[in-house]
Structure 1
Amino acid sequence: MKIAQLIFFGFLFILILFSLTTWINYRQMEAVKENTEFVSHSATVVRQSNRFQRNILNVVSSLRAYFLTGDSTFIQAFASARQENENILTELSSMADSAQMPGLRRIQTLNGRWTSEFTHILGDVQRTAVTSKDPVDLSVVYKNEFPIIAKGDVAEDLQAEVRSFINEEYKRREVRKKQLAGSIVSTRRLSFILTFCSIVIGLVIAGFVTYSISKRILRLVQMSNTIAEGNYKVQVEPGRDELGRLALSLNHMARVLDTNISELKRKNGELDQFAHIVSHDLKSPLRGIGNVVEWIEEDHGSELTPKVQEYFGLIKGRLIRAEHLISGILSYARVGKEEMQAETVVLRDLLEEIVGNLAPRPGTELLISPELPVLHTERVPLYQVFDNLISNALKYNDRARPQLAVWHEDHPAYYVFYVQDNGPGISEAYHQKIFQIFQTLQSGESASGTGVGLAIVKKILDARHEKIELSSEPGLGSTFSFTWKKQPEWKR
């Protein structure tokens, strides 16, 4: 499966899981809302039912007070309580559900009969008071008829129905309260479980995707490191994901590199062989020419004119320069080809050996630091670097009193060595060119160098990842500085 598809389906699964979590939470919240609304609605029903029950008592109290005192204001209180109960029953009718409606209808019926009986008594009393010349004895009515109505069967049935209605509402509300509490607990529990599961599954999917991608990338990195170490035959399984195209590219690159490196090694071998053959074939005729010149000078020296002797001197100089050039080319070709072992090198002894072999002209001032370090390194490359730098410093110094100074700086992982002279100096335009092979500051007949020495120095230092710098101005001498690691790279 491709990485994009794996990531897409992973996110899709997480999205579906979170959507399911949201939907379940919504349903639970709806249940909580429904139970909460029922409890609130039930509280209103109970409150109104209690008002209705209190108003029944108010009706009885108002009529009792009227019959005992004859004060007509109690009739108004009776009418107000009766009307309020009518309004309460109407409101309860709109609020009661199908389970409570039968009981509410019975309450309405009983309340109608009960209040009509009181109304009938009041109507008789009021009509008698209008038609009779004698005042109505309310106490007689209170004793004879009021107890029958106030405490009769209808009144008792009405009170019983109201109590039954309220008790039933209390029971239903308690049930809904328990359901509400259960819904809240269930909502919290489900929310926690689903959220936890979503996080865990999301982490598992993310971990799986990350592992799959990192595993593929790690293989490609390992392949790249193997190629960097010089094994160009390594291949990696392409796979079917997006990284497969990168794997195919790396496999192709490895094959191309293997082919190119093999071809390069073959051509380098041919070039080395060619250099050795050419140097051998060139040195033989050069030696022959030199020998012929010497024989002529020995056998016919007295017969040669000064001009011819001058020409013979030029020929010998060119022969020597050609031999040096051939030797330099061979040395340049050998740089980095031979495996060398590190050994203890006393640098001051090494420099004294180099100076002794070069035999500087009289009057040369040598300033070699007595504090030069003792190194554990490859002796031959270091010898070649110092030999070429010191040789150039002495050869091209045209001062009456040449000076050569060598010192160093100590750093934690490497040394910096300095070779300084008071010669003619080098223009900044040539600071980089002089390290190229066959590049010299002299030209034509005046050229005495081969242009190979500094190229050999640069190649040796580049092969060891070292640096070389030149600080020089015309007429102010030159200072070459180069780094040299304290530990050979192959021991690191």
Structure 2
Amino acid sequence: MNLTTKLFAGFVLISFLFTTVAIVNYRLSEDVISNSAFVSDSQNITRTSASLQRSIIDMETGMRGYLLTGNRTFLEPYFSAAALIPGQFTLLKKLMKDKPEQLKRVKEIEDLHQKWREEFAELLISEKDKENKSGDPYRGINKLEHGFLVLNEEGKRITDQMRVYFKAFNTIEYQVRETRNDRLTESIANTRQISTTLTVISVMLGLAWAYYITRLISGRILKMVNLADRISHGEYKTQIEDDANDELTRLTESLNRMSTTIDTTITELESKNKELDQFAYVVSHDLKAPLRGIENASRWVEEDMGKELPAHIREYLLMMRVRVHRMENLINGILALARIGRSHLEEGMIDVQALLFEVIDMLNPPQGFKIHLPDRLPVVEGAKVELQQVFSNLLSNAIKYHHHTTGNITVTHQRLEDAHEFSVMDDGPGIEEEYHDRIFVLFQTLQERDAVESTGVGLAIVKKIIERRGGTIKVSSTLGQGATFTFTWPLLTLDHT
């Protein structure tokens, strides 16, 4: 299975789980909402029922007070409740439309109340009104034409029957509400439990799948990183085994091919380097041999001719030996330049102060030249031979190309953020700006070779050493005002293997 397919499958699985959680939560919430709505409706029903029952009681109380006292003030609650009761019955019947048994009880209560009002309450109130108008409001209920309805408790039986219906009605509502309350509590608990369980399962599966994919990818990427690291350390024959047959497998195969290609290329390069070393050795040996022969022949001529040798011939022979030495130095310089970076030099910490003392002692500057050093110079990391070559070439050039027999050369240092910066300043003739870049090119010299003995290789060697270590070199000079060669030596040593 491709890595992309695995990632997509994991995404689909997690999406499915979360969708399932959402659906289940939605359905459970519907159940909770349904039970909550039913409980709320039931509370409305019982409140409406209680209000209706209070209104009926108010009518009954008001009527009794009026019948006993003849004071119509007692009828105010009666008429207020009478105005409310029709609406309360209508609302209660509306709430009971889906409950036929309860609706039936409401209608029975409504019929009883209608009967009580028309055949009992209104009749007696009307007769009491007539009695009040006759001027004798205190004759008593038994004096009313239908007062016997009160005495034989006919009205009481009707109201008692309504109370029985109300009690049955409310009992059923309370039972149903209790059941629904239990169901609501249970549904809330189920919703919490199921939702939490599914969410935890989804998160755990998501984390497990993410862990699996991460391990799958990171482990294989780590192998690739290790391969690249081994290649960077010269282990070009190393390979990665990967049989997953996915996108990373193809990347692994590309890295393996790259490793093989690098190994082949490095092997060929090493072979070519060996051939070049052998060629350089042979060329230098074959070139130096006739040069030594020419020098020896010139000396033999001088020895054989002795005092008979003309002065101009002696001068020619001396010039010939000078040219031979120049040719030999040129061959040695070319070989030194070619071997930079191809020989494994010992790396370590270099005390620049001590190194410069050694270089100055080796150069043995003429009597009139003074070389000025800072009181303190740093300890740097690198190959001592290379830094020695750099300072030796720069200092010897400052002496060699000076236009006077006396001069001052100053070495300075400053610490940069990521490198040491050294400068070699002289008070010589200076260098025209147009030659600032050319002097670092192989075989380039500013003076005639017969005027100053030079191969034109020294600054090319300096530039190659410094740039190979990741540093830079530049010259700043104005004709007649000396020259300053400034180079940087990085704090961290580069890997030159």
What is the deviation of 1:257? 1.5
What is the deviation of 1:9? 3.0
| Equivalent pair of 2:374/2:411 in contact (CA under 8 Å) | no
Aligned ranges for residues 373-388 of structure 1 at < 5 Å? 380-388=385-393
**SS of residue in 2 equivalent to 1:479:** strand
Q: Does 1:107 align with 2:115?
A: no
Instruction: Give deviations 1:282-340, integer Å, cap 9, x for gaps.
Output: 11111222233333344447676666555444433321211111121222334344445
Distance in 2 of aligned mates of 1:230 and 1:147: 123
What is the deviation of 1:447? 7.1
**SS of residue in 2 equivalent to 1:384:** helix
CA shift in 2, pair 1:257/1:439, >3 Å: farther
**Equivalent pairs: percent with the same residue?**
38
Q: Does 1:250 align with 2:260?
A: no
CA shift in 2, pair 1:456/1:56, >3 Å: closer
What is the deviation of 1:109? 4.7
Distance in 2 of aligned mates of 1:408 and 1:65: 120
Match of 1:170 in 2: 174
Give 5+ residue unaligned stretches, structure 2.
132-136
Instruction: Give deviations 1:107-162, integer Å, cap 9, x for gaps.
Output: 34544554554389669979x99xxxxx9996343542334453565443332112
Instruction: Give deviations 1:231-252, integer Å, cap 9, x for gaps.
Output: 2222224544433343333222
Aligned ranges for residues 24-423 of structure 1 at < 5 Å? 24-61=24-61, 63-64=63-64, 85-96=85-96, 97-111=99-113, 113-115=115-117, 117-118=119-120, 139-140=142-143, 141-148=145-152, 150-151=154-155, 153-237=157-241, 239-300=244-305, 310-341=315-346, 346-347=354-355, 349-356=357-364, 360-361=365-366, 363-369=367-373, 371=375, 380-406=385-411, 417-423=422-428
Give 5+ residue unaligned stretches, structure 1.
130-134
| Equivalent pair of 1:347/1:374 in contact (CA under 8 Å) | no
Match of 2:134 in 1: none
Instruction: Give deviations 1:182-230, integer Å, cap 9, x for gaps.
Output: 4444444555454444444444444443343333332222222222222
**SS of residue in 1 equivalent to 2:100:** coil
| Equivalent pair of 1:416/1:484 in contact (CA under 8 Å) | yes
Distance in 1 of aligned mates of 2:249 and 2:106: 78
What is the deviation of 1:259? 1.5
**SS of residue in 1 equivalent to 2:456:** coil
Distance in 2 of aligned mates of 1:370 and 1:49: 108
Instruction: Give deviations 1:452-473, integer Å, cap 9, x for gaps.
Output: 2222333344455555443333
Distance in 2 of aligned mates of 1:40 and 1:374: 88
Distance in 2 of aligned mates of 1:169 and 1:312: 137
CA shift in 2, pair 1:333/1:85, >3 Å: closer
Letter of the 1:354 counterpart? M
CA shift in 2, pair 1:45/1:288, >3 Å: same
CA shift in 2, pair 1:372/1:293, >3 Å: farther
Letter of the 1:272 counterpart? D
Q: Which has the larger displacement, 69-78 or 190-199?
A: 69-78
Distance in 1 of aligned mates of 2:31 and 2:425: 94
Cα RMSD, aligned residues only? 4.2
| Equivalent pair of 1:60/1:150 in contact (CA under 8 Å) | no
Distance in 1 of aligned mates of 2:194 and 2:32: 13
Match of 2:440 in 1: 435
| Equivalent pair of 2:142/2:151 in contact (CA under 8 Å) | no
Distance in 2 of aligned mates of 1:486 and 1:14: 51
Instruction: Give deviations 1:358-386, integer Å, cap 9, x for gaps.
Output: xx55x522235485769798554444333
CA shift in 2, pair 1:75/1:389, >3 Å: closer
Q: Report the TM-score when normalising by structure 2.
A: 0.79
**SS of residue in 2 equivalent to 1:420:** strand
Letter of the 1:474 counterpart? L
Distance in 2 of aligned mates of 1:349 and 1:68: 137
Letter of the 2:173 counterpart? E
Q: How many residues align?
A: 480
Match of 1:132 in 2: none
Instruction: Give deviations 1:265-292, integer Å, cap 9, x for gaps.
Output: 1111111110110011111111222233
Q: Which has the larger displacement, 196-205 or 243-252?
A: 196-205
Letter of the 1:234 counterpart? T
Q: Does 1:6 align with 2:14?
A: no
Letter of the 1:347 counterpart? L
**SS of residue in 2 equivalent to 1:330:** helix
Instruction: Give deviations 1:5-35, integer Å, cap 9, x for gaps.
Output: 3333333333333323333333333233323
CA shift in 2, pair 1:415/1:22, >3 Å: closer
Distance in 2 of aligned mates of 1:449 and 1:467: 24
Instruction: Give deviations 1:422-470, integer Å, cap 9, x for gaps.
Output: 3222234443443333232346876742122222333344455555443
Distance in 2 of aligned mates of 1:151 and 1:383: 131
Q: Which has the larger displacement, 309-318 or 44-53?
A: 309-318
Q: Which has the larger displacement, 22-31 or 305-314?
A: 305-314
Letter of the 1:168 counterpart? I
Distance in 2 of aligned mates of 1:380 and 1:67: 134
Letter of the 1:387 counterpart? S
CA shift in 2, pair 1:138/1:336, >3 Å: closer
Match of 1:456 in 2: 461
Q: Which has the larger displacement, 313-322 or 372-381?
A: 372-381
**SS of residue in 2 equivalent to 1:387:** helix
Distance in 2 of aligned mates of 1:78 and 1:338: 122
Distance in 2 of aligned mates of 1:403 and 1:138: 146
**SS of residue in 2 equivalent to 1:471:** strand
| Equivalent pair of 1:149/1:155 in contact (CA under 8 Å) | no
Distance in 1 of aligned mates of 2:350 and 2:59: 126
What is the deviation of 1:66? 6.0
Distance in 2 of aligned mates of 1:305 and 1:66: 173
| Equivalent pair of 1:461/1:467 in contact (CA under 8 Å) | yes
Q: Which has the larger displacement, 274-283 or 190-199?
A: 190-199
Distance in 1 of aligned mates of 2:424 and 2:387: 13
Distance in 2 of aligned mates of 1:153 and 1:73: 26
